Amino acid sequence: MKNIASLLHEHPFFHGLSGGDLNFLATCAENSRYKEGEYLAKESAPANHFFLIRSGRVAVETFVPNHGPLCLMTLQDGDIFGWSWLYPPYLTAFDARALSPVRCLRLGGKCLREKCESEPRLGFELMKRFARIATERLQAARIQLLDVYGPHPSQNPVQRRPHL
Amino acid sequence: MWRIERRHEEFPGTVTLALRREGHLEVPALPGQFNMLYAFGAGEVAISLSGPSAPSSDPLIHTIKSQGFATQALCRLPVGAQLGVRGPFGHGWPMLDGSHRPLVIIAGGLGLAPLRPLIYRFLQGQLPARSLQVFYGARRPQEMLYREELPAWGKSFELVTSVDHADTNWNGHVGVITDPLRVSAVNVKEALVLLCGPEIMMRFCIQVLRHKGVPASSIYLSMERNMKCAIGLCGHCQWGPHLVCRDGPVFCYQDVCKWFQINGL
């Protein structure tokens, strides 16, 4: 049976980190499983965890009044979810719901913050990795906003909604 | 004269028409080529072939999105109605020339239509491709083309579908098509990549492909410009030194990358 450090090593987010760093972080992590339909995190709840998805699919959703849940994006093997534990007020921004059985590594947010504070070199390395993923997701969100498959994709999306 | 033999509404505003000319053998058309369809009294418009399913005397298939005057008129035509057809025109997709390379198809929105004949050929064993991966992005699940065919395709080759927006009834990927493309296992050294969709979507996909290491010479894309004469005379579809109707609509990215990067061209 693999230990937590080797499971961390297998996840793309931690590729390239030294064994020492992974052992140092492994004390914050635990293996967890979610059934289909179960929530990994709920909007506005304390952001206590950072998730590394090992297998399965997760929908990042928000509830729209008079409409219901709206899926913003889906995550899968190799993706991560949750960085709201990084900064105050440490509240989760969106719901995360398992679309299929999900296996993941769950790292304690407070524990990770303390490790990053105590080991700034490792903290900076992790921040660079978070920044890259946050940038990729921001770019993806901007492309979604362009509505490239819509009837008038060349129009400024804000101009199309004059009430904004 | 051509008549509409079948008409299928893919989703509101987009129809697939099967066209037949009674008593005549059809002109062989290659995947990626286009015809000029003429709705009498409304006008003529370039529409890519999205079928037939086999290179035979089956009817010509065209999928049309109702956008302008001519396409609105075409989309309104009922079964049995007459229309004019000129073509086929242009250069189609590269047909692999027996090289048995892995084939990667990336389509966005209506861009799946010109690639569907290639998918049929692969399914019928008429395309010397070692494998096929298809990435298909659309706005919403309800706005995906050929929805009744997608489940069978997914059993025959790797099919990744993604939509920009969805409610909780959709169990597939939500997000831009570049996300699954970025994490996919593409044989970057050998793969032949064929792209069709909105130009901005193709641009972002090319960025991902180039970052993964796919050579520019292995990427082909289908360009859309305002084609009028379809025979390289009127100049409406000029794109840099090229006329899309005559030199395209399928281009190798290596040959057009410098035009592709110029805004407003």
Give the ipTM of the model, two decimals please.
0.74
Helix, strand and coil content of chain B, in percent to the nearest 5, comes to 25, 35, 40
pLDDT tens, A131-158? 999 998 998 888 888 888 877 654 544 4
Compute the distance between CA of residue A115 and CA of residue A92 in angstroms, rounded to an integer.
21
> What are residue B28's DSSP bridge partners?
none
Q: How far does the CA of residue B124 sit from the closest CA of chain A (Å)?
A: 30
Bigger pLDDT: A2 vs B227: B227
CA-angle at B72, arms to B153 and B236, nearest 5°: 90
Q: Across the interface, which of B167, B171, B174 has its CB nearest the CB of A68? A: B167
Residues B85-91, mean pLDDT to the nearest whole number: 90
- Residues B216/B253, Cβ–Cβ less than 8 Å: yes
Decide the pairing of beta strands A39-41 and A49-55.
unpaired
Interface of A with B (CB under 8 A): 59, 61, 67-74, 76, 78, 99, 136, 140, 143-144, 146-151, 153
Q: Which of A73, A150, A151 has its CB closest to that of B174?
A: A73
Q: What mean pLDDT comes out for the span B105-118? A: 93
- Residue entry with tokens 């940038």: A135
Domain ranges (residues) in chain A: 4-146
Question: Is pLDDT above 90 for B24?
Answer: no
Interface residue B159 vs chain A (CB under 8 A): no
Residues of chain B with CATH 2.40.30.10: 2-89
Task: Identify which of A101, A105, A104 has the alpha carbon closest to the alpha carbon of residue A37.
Answer: A101
Average pLDDT over residues B36-40: 93
CATH number assigned to the domain covering B96-222: 3.40.50.80
Q: Tell me the one-letter amino acid at B6.
A: R
Longest dimension (CA), chain B: 51
Q: Determine, for residues B167 and A72 on separate chains, whether the beta-carbon distance falls below 8 Å.
A: no
**What mean pLDDT do residues B11-24 have?**
87
CA-based nearest distance B236→chain A, Å: 20
CA-CA distances (angstroms) from residue B170 to A65, A73, A74, B145, B181?
19, 11, 11, 15, 20
Which residue, among B131, B137, B206, has the nearest Cα to B177 in the 3D structure?
B137
Mean pLDDT by 10 residues, chain A (164 residues): 85 92 92 95 93 95 86 92 91 94 95 93 94 91 86 49 38
Give me the mean pLDDT over the B130-145 stretch.
93
Supply the pLDDT for residue A159: 41
As a whole number of angstroms, the longest Cα–Cα distance in chain A is 58
Binned at pLDDT 50, 70 and 90, residue B96 comes out as: low
In the A/B pair of chains, how many CB contacts fall below 8 A? 65
Q: Print burial letters for B188-205: b (CB count within 10 Å at least 16), e (below 16).
A: beebbbbbbbbeebbebb
Tokens of residue B6, six digits: 């079948």
Lowest mean pLDDT among A125-134, A154-163, B27-36, B85-94: A154-163
Written as six digits, the tokens of B153 are: 């395709």
The boundaries of every CATH 3.40.50.80 domain in chain B are 96-222
**Cβ-based neighbours of B243, under 8 Å, separated by 6 or more:** B232, B235, B237
To the nearest whole number, what is the mean pLDDT of chain B? 88
**pLDDT band at residue B147, thresholds of 50, 70 and 90?**
very high
Contact A69 B167 (CB under 8 A): yes
Residue B93 has pLDDT above 50, yes or no: yes
Which pLDDT score is estimated for A160? 39
pLDDT exceeding 90 applies to what percent of chain B?
A: 53
Mean pLDDT, residues B112-139: 91
pLDDT of residue B139: 92
Q: What is the mean pLDDT of residues B164-185?
A: 86
Calculate the dihedral angle through the C-alpha atoms of B135, B141, B144, B150, rounding to the nearest 10 degrees: 60
Summarize the confidence of residues B196-219 as an average pLDDT. 92
Using pLDDT thresholds of 50, 70 and 90, give the confidence band for residue B193: very high
Left if phi > 0, otherwise alpha if psi is -120 to 50, otherwise beta: which for B252? Answer: beta
A73–B198 C-beta distance less than 8 A = no
Q: Are B75 and B66 in contact (CB under 8 A)?
A: yes
Which residue(s) pair with B157 in the sheet? Answer: none
Q: Measure A119 CA to nearest chain B CA, in Å.
A: 30
- Which percentage of chain B shows pLDDT scores above 70? 95
Tell me how far apart the terminal alpha carbons of chain B are, to the nearest angstrom.
Answer: 37
| Section B167-171 average pLDDT | 80
CB–CB contact A149 B143 (8 Å): yes
Per-residue pLDDT band at B179 (split at 50, 70, 90): confident
Q: Which CATH class is domain B2-89?
A: mainly beta
At residue B14, the 3 state secondary structure works out as: strand
pLDDT of residue A161: 41
Q: Is the pLDDT of residue B201 over 80?
A: yes
Specify the CATH number for A4-146; select among 2.60.120.10, 3.30.470.10, 3.90.1300.10, 3.40.720.10.
2.60.120.10
Q: Nearest 5°: phi and psi at B19?
A: -115, 135
Q: What is the pLDDT of residue B72?
A: 93
pLDDT band at B98 (very low <50, low <70, confident <90, very high): low
* B211–chain A Cβ distance below 8 A for any pair: no
Nearest residue to A153 via CA among B220, B148, B139: B139
Distance between B174 CA and the closest CA of chain A, angstroms: 5
